[in-house]
Structure 1
Amino acid sequence: MSQAPAPLQLTRLRHDAEHAAARFPALLAEAERIAASVAHGVHGRRRAGQGETFWQYRHHRPEDGARFVDWRRSAQGDHLYIREVEWEAANAIYFWRDGSAGMQLHSPGLPSKAERASVALMAIASLLNRGGERLSVLGETGRARAGRTGFETVSRALAMGDGEADSVEAADLPRHARLVIASDFLDPVETWQARLSRFAAQGASGALLRVIDPAEDDFPFKGRTRFEAASGGMDSLLFGRAEDARTAYREAWSRHGAQLNDLARQYGWRLITHRTDRPAASAVLALYQALSEPRS
C-alpha cells in the first residue's frame, strides 16, 4: 500500500491539530459553564478513608480486626461498629474518551458524539478537581495530577487526544482506581466484557457514559438510503426503502443496549446513556452522582 509523501502527511497532521486546537477554548468554556451549573445543585463527595472528620458508623466486618472498633457506640447495642471518617487523601480518577471514527457522527445542528463526550468529561473533571481529586487520561497524560494545572492538562487531552483503544486495553491502574469512560459502545459486547473484566481484576470500577446520536436511537430514515461505515472498513449498505429495516434495527439496537446495561451491572459499574439532543448537564449530573455512590 502506497504512503503519502512526508510533506503531505505533515500538512494533514498540522491541519488536524490546528482544527482540534481551535475548538478547545470553546469546549473548555462550555464544560466550565456546565460544571458551574451542576455544582449549584450537588454537595461535595463524601467517602470513607483517611482523615479525622466523622462521617458515619458501619457494622464491623471480620477483616477490620478489633483495633478499629468504636467500643462506646458498640456498647449501646448488640453489634460491633466501626467509626468511619471522611476521605481526605484524594483518590485518582482516570478518564478515557473514545477516539474512533464513529464518534464523529452527528445529526444536523447537533454536536458530534466525540464533542459531547469531551465536554461532559471535561465538566465532570472540573467538578472533581474542585473537590481535590487527582485526574488523569488513560494513555494521554501520565500520572494523575491535582490542581488547575492538572485539570487543564486533562481537559486538553480529552478535547484533542487520540482516544486510542490500546489506552483502555493496556491500562495498568492502581488498585481501587475509579474510571469514567465515554464512548458510543458500538464495539461488540464481548469486547467490553474483556475490558471490564481486566479492570475488575485490578480492583477498578467506575461509570460508563454511552453517548448516542438521536438518529442512531430513532432510525428516522425513509426511502432510498445509503449507509456507510465511518471507518470505511466495510461495504456500504443501500436500502430502497430504509423504513422496511426500522423494526429489525430497533430490536437489535434495544438488545445491544440491554446487554451493555447487564454487563455494567455484572461488574458493578454504572451505565449512563445520553443523547446528544439533550442537555449535557444531565449527563454530567448523572456521572457525578454515580461517582459519589459508595463502593459496593
Structure 2
Amino acid sequence: MPAPANVPPRVRQSDPSEVLRRLDLVVRRRLDGLLHGEYMGLVPGQGSEQGETRVYAPGDDVRRIDWNVTARMTDPHVRETIADRELECWILADESPSLDFGTAWCEKRDLAVSAAAAVGFLTHRTGNRIGAVLAAPEGTQIVPARGGKDHLMAVLHRLVSATHEPDGRTDLAAALATVGGIARRRGLVTVISDFLDPPEEWQRRLAQVAVRHETVCIEVVDPREVELPSVGVLSLVDPRTGEVLEIQTANPKVRERYAAAAQAQRDAIAAAIRSAGADHLQLRTDRDWLLDIVHFVARRRDRLGDIAPHPA
C-alpha cells in the first residue's frame, strides 16, 4: 500500500525543532491549500455581531435573509455576521504510553502531536488564545492560555519533547475535570487521545466540558487495534501495564473475535463522545491525516452554518 501524501514526522526519532519546522510547513501550506483559505478554523459559529448585507447567492442559508433590506432593494439579501474572536482554545493532550504504538506510517503519538499542531494553527491565526493540559501517567501539566504563534510553538515543543515512564496510565477523567476547572470562558476544547479507558470513566466529565464549550474529540487509532493479521503466534504487550499476551493469529476464529471486540470498543467510544455532545474525529496511522481533518472541518462548517464568502 503506498504511503499517504502527508506522513506525520516521527516525534521520537527527530530533533524537536525539526519536527516543529515540518509541522509548521505541512499544516500552513498543505492544509491552507486543501481548505483554499476559506474557513473560520475549528472555532464554531458565525458570531453574534451583525455585519454587512450582500445579495443572496445559491447555497446561502435562507435563515440569514434580511427581509427589511430585501423589501427595500427588491432582491433577496442576506445578513453576514462577524465571527467571534479572541476565544480561549484548550488542547487536552493524552500522553499515555499506549500512544507509543504504530504499525503503519507512524506511531499514534506522532499522529496526536500532528493533530495538536493542526488545531493550534487553525485557531491561533484568528486571534484566539491557546492553552494546553498535558495528561501523563506521572501527573497533569497546565500551559496557560496565551495568544501568538510563539506561544503556540512553545506548547507544541512541550508535546514533542515530552518524555515519560514507559508504562503506566493517564487519568483522562481527571484531565477533563482539570480543563473544566481552568477554562472559565466559553471557547473550544479539543481532546486528543486513543480513549482506551472505559467510556464510563470519562464520559460524564466530557459531557460537563461539552455543556460549556464547543468540544472536539480526536481519536487516534492504529489498524492493528482494529484487526489482526495472520502471522502465527503474536506476542502483545500492554504498554500501560507491561502485561504480555501470546495470541495464535493463524486461527481465523481468533481474528474474528478480536475484530468484533475491537469494533464494539470503537462503537462504544463513538457513542460516548456523541452522547456527551462533542464532535468526533478519528485519525488513523494508515490514512492521510490532513485529508481527514479537511473533511472534518468541511462537515463541521456545513453543520454549523459557516459559509465561505462568495466572489463579488
- With the shorter chain as reference, the TM-score category is 0.7 to 0.9
CA contact (8 A) 1:184 1:211 kept: yes
Question: How do 1:69-148 residues align onto structure 2 when only pairs under 5 Å count?
Answer: 72=68, 85-107=81-103, 110-139=105-134, 140-148=141-149
Q: Of 158, 175, 179, which residue of structure 2 is paired with 1:167?
A: 175
Aligned to 2:200: 190
Q: 1:141 to 1:189 in 2, by over 3 A?
A: closer
Deviation readout 1:49-94 (Å, 9 max, x if unpaired): 365634899879xxxxxxxxx8836989xxxxx9662124321111
- Distance in 2 (alpha carbons) for counterparts of 1:291 and 1:93: 17
Residue by residue, what CA displacement relative to the aligned partner does 1:181-224 show, whole Å, maximum 9, x if unpaired?
Answer: 111111111123122122135x1232111111121123114322
TM-fit CA distance, 1:242: 5.2
Question: Counterparts of 1:174 and 1:21 in 2: how far apart (Å)?
Answer: 37
Aligned-residue offset at 1:96: 1.8
Q: TM-score, normalised by structure 1?
A: 0.74
The CA deviation at 1:251 is 0.8
Q: What is the aligned partner in structure 2 of residue 53 from structure 1?
A: 51
Match of 1:222 in 2: 231
Cα distance in 2 between the residues matched to 1:95 and 1:241: 38
Judging changes above 3 Å, is the alpha-carbon distance between structure 1 residues 162 and 94 closer, same or farther for their aligned structure 2 residues?
A: farther
Using a 3 Å threshold, how does the CA distance of structure 1 residues 51 and 141 change in structure 2: closer, same or farther? farther
Match of 2:21 in 1: 29
Q: Which runs of 4+ in 1 moved over 6 A?
A: 55-60
Give, in whole Å, the separation in 1 of the partners of 2:61 and 2:295.
Answer: 27
Q: In the TM superposition, what whole-angstrom CA distance separates every residue of 1:220-239 from its partner, at most 9, and x where no partner exists?
A: 14322222211235x42223
Q: How many residues are paired up?
A: 263
Return closer, same or farther for 1:269/1:128 CA change in 2, 3 Å cut-off: same
Which of 18, 33, 39 in structure 2 is aligned with 1:40? 33
Fraction of identical pairs, as percent: 20
SS in 2 for 1:144: strand
Contact 1:116 1:211 (C-alpha < 8 Å) held by counterparts? yes
The 1:185–1:214 alpha-carbon spacing in structure 2 relative to 1, beyond 3 Å, is same
* Alpha-carbon distance in structure 2 between the residues aligned to 1:136 and 1:91: 11
The correspondence for 1:237, drawn from 224, 245, 250, is 245
Contact 1:34 1:123 in 2 (8 A): no
Give the AA of the match of 2:193.
S
**Aligned-partner Cα distance in 2 for 1:54–1:21:** 51
- Pair 1:211-2:220 in alignment: yes
TM-score normalised according to structure 2 size: 0.71
Compare relative contact order (CA 8 Å, sep 6+) and give the higher one, 1 or 2.
2
Aligned Cα RMSD in Å? 3.5
Gaps in structure 1 of 5+ consecutive residues: 1-18, 61-69, 77-81
2:143 counterpart SS class = coil
CA separation of 1:148 and 1:200: change in aligned 2, threshold 3 A? closer
280-289 vs 254-263, which deviates more? Answer: 280-289
Q: Name the structure 2 match of 1:247.
A: 256
Q: What amino acid is aligned across from residue 167 of structure 1 in structure 2?
A: A
Q: 1:131–1:242: structure 2 CA closer, same or farther, 3 Å change rule?
A: farther
C-alpha separation in 1, matches of 2:153 and 2:246: 44
Deviation at 1:267, TM superposition (A): 2.6
2:227–2:258 contact (8 Å) kept in structure 1: no
State how far apart, in whole Å, the 1-side matches of 2:121 and 2:248 are: 48
Mark the CA change 1:191 to 1:75 in structure 2 (over 3 Å): closer, same or farther: farther
